[in-house]
Structure 1
Amino acid sequence: MTGTATDHQADRRTRVTVLVALVANLVIALAKAVGGLFAGSPALLSEAAHSVADSLNEVFLLAALRRSRRPADEKHPFGYGKERFFWSLIAAVGIFVMGGCFSFFQGVEALRNGAEEKLSGYVAGLIVLGVAFVAEGISLLRALHQVRRQGGSAGLRDPALRTVVAEDGTAVLGVTLAMIGMALHMVTGQVVWEASASLAIGVLLVYVAYRLGRDARDQLIGEAMDPETTGRIRALLQAQPEIDSVEALLTMKVGLDSTLVAARVDLVPGLDSEQVEEVAVRIKRSIASLVPEAGEIFLDVTDRAAARERESPAATGERGGA
């Protein structure tokens, strides 16, 4: 599925949001790294690793936006929509490894070996963090604005946009923790404050990575439609006069805006093959109209009465005696 014009417009807005976050993170990562080395600050170096991880993740998300819109082909008949979920999972792994693990390492090293105190360096580091706070805040506001434009919580269905919001929100909180740790270290002379800030940033990043990874995993292994939409499809099927019963209804998201719907239904007795075909076509059109994201619809129709007749003892006896 290649998506509608509206979907492509949403993709363009998401791409701009990701690019804004990428530029902000690249500049901030460089500033944090220089400031962290100059000040000998583990919290600031942890934040630099955080920004590097976020920058790499934005590259992954840009790849996801481009690759997920490729049309279906013989090798991938349902399209490439799940590319978004795959790259979102890779981004979560990047947050965990490059951000969380490095932050834990910096915190532990600071507790074991201490950190060199340079007053001028710490002042410069706090200034860098203040600038980073403003830049990350602007990027977060841009992402939240897009979420509102795309329907609030519904906009967070897009794993790329969801990841940017999570990254920017975590970055704002992480910068705040780093500033508090650095300030307390500078005032008290106790490195434990800054080491604790670094460890707290690590915990925060690991938690965010876990949540993003869990969501991406659910979507990759085949997440169903929400129960409300599934219920609407089932009600539509049950309302058809030609359907005797709905034996099974299965749904699976195959992309951001494309879902596979498969139903097994029993028809009322007496329908010929031409009527069955007409019913199937009408039902598929009704489902597509009710749920526009249902890009692939499959119906397995059976005549229960005819099946029972074929399997009855009398029919079996007749076949056996023939």
Structure 2
Amino acid sequence: MKELFVLLKQGNKSALMAAIVNAVIAILRGTAFFFTGNVAMFAETMHAIGDAANQFFVFIGSALSKKTPTKRFPNGFGRLVNLVLLGAVIVVAIMSYETIKEGVHHVLHPTEAEGFFIVVGVLLAGVILESMVLAKAMKEVIHETHVEAKGLGILVQSIKNVGKATPATKLVFMEDLVATGGGLLALLAVLLSKWTGQHVLEGIASVLIGLMMLFVVGKVFIDNAAGVLGEADDEMEKKIGHILIQDPEVKDIRNITVMKEGETLHVEVEVELEASITIEEADVIKERLAGQVMGQKGVADVLIEFSKDDGEVDWKMHYT
């Protein structure tokens, strides 16, 4: 039990914050839907429930993935976060289906909902809370990708670099970006429905929100399926290769592989040295190179092998 609490302290804080906020939003929206019957509110309630459950799973998965390797699982638990996220998307998929189904029903049989001011107030409060979580996720993306940005630059750079963030942070960012947009869409639909009398707009908004949720489901599934199978990090391969090729003793890099294991990276590299290098000198070089690689963010371990310089250039990335 003590180990579990220690692991939970290492869980993704953005995911935990998002789970709590979305749980509160789900309660508020669910209560408002119960009293008003507003279909746009129903869509956003389903959205908040799905996000809260998903992000809670993300927090748990990100924490457990940091468990140290055991004899039974010598490669560690890095991919556990990907497995948890694959399970979590099922929850969102179910909520997406219910949201679309209810929206279609309202499009075919539009009715006027009650409690206009309650609905507007709850939706507006939800948008504000969601945007706060989204801002937190944006800053987390900036922090994890080592990008400097201020003001509106945080928005631009976080969208640009979200693909390089950890799986947990990426999911929170995507879900809250869609959630904030969905809240604004629902709010706009309620206002236009009231002003124009076209109550079918709320049903259309519900369908669109459901489709936005399905987009997140598809994106998260593809990303984490790749993580479970084992995905190479091409950008980190290039970065580590660039570092190693600068060493005066390294003549060439025959092969380099950087595999993602959840939030950690495992590096294997084969470098070429002069044939005259002694075993003692090779040990010193290996220790030096390993230290440089281990100094990179996210690297959990590195395996370095040496080969005799064959006079041919194998590592092309250095020259492009």
Q: Normalising TM by the smaller chain, what interval?
A: 0.7 to 0.9
Distance 1:192 1:159 in 2: 37
What are the superposed Cα offsets for residues 59-96 of structure 1, whole Å, 9 maximum, x if unpaired? 20221232012111112222212222333333334323
- 2:240 alignment partner in structure 1: 233
* 1:283–1:142 Cα change, 3 Å: closer
* Deviations 1:255-300 (CA, angstroms, capped at 9, x unpaired): 41x32111234443345555544544443334334x3533222233
Show the 5 A alignment for 1:76-225.
76-98=73-95, 100-112=96-108, 114-118=109-113, 120-150=114-144, 151-152=146-147, 153=158, 157-225=165-233
Q: Name the amino acid aligned to 1:105.
A: K
Distance 1:143 1:10, change over 3 A: farther
Tell me, in whole angstroms, the C-alpha distance in 2 between the residues paired with 1:69 and 1:86. 14
- Contact map agreement 1:41 1:115 (CA 8 A) in 2: no
AA aligned to 1:259 is L
Q: Size of the alignment, in residue pairs?
A: 290
Partner of 1:288: 294
In structure 1, what is the Cα distance between the partners aligned to 2:141 and 2:258? 26
Q: Secondary structure at the match of 1:77?
A: coil
Alignment match, 2:17: 20
- Check 1:233–1:177 CA distance in 2 against 1; reply closer, same or farther (3 A cut): closer
TM-score, normalised via structure 1 length: 0.77
Please state whether the residue corresponding to 1:72 is helix, strand or coil: coil
Structure 1 residue runs of 5 or longer lacking an equivalent are 1-7, 306-322
Cross-structure match for 2:265: 259
Shift of the alpha carbon at 1:34?
Answer: 2.6
Overall identity of the aligned pairs, in %: 24
Instruction: List alignment gaps of at least 5 residues for structure 2.
Output: 1-6, 148-157, 311-320
Q: Distance in 1 between matches of 2:139 and 2:9?
A: 13
AA aligned to 1:108 is V
TM-fit CA distance, 1:253: 1.7
The question of whether the paired residues in 2 share the 8 Å contact of 1:132 and 1:175 is answered with yes
> TM-score of the superposition, structure 2-length normalised?
0.77
Q: 1:293 to 1:163 in 2, by over 3 A?
A: closer
Q: Does the 8 Å CA contact 2:257/2:267 hold for their aligned counterparts? A: yes
* Cα 1:242–1:135 shift into 2, 3 Å: closer
Instruction: Select the structure of larger CA radius of gyration.
Output: 1
Shift of 1:108: 1.2
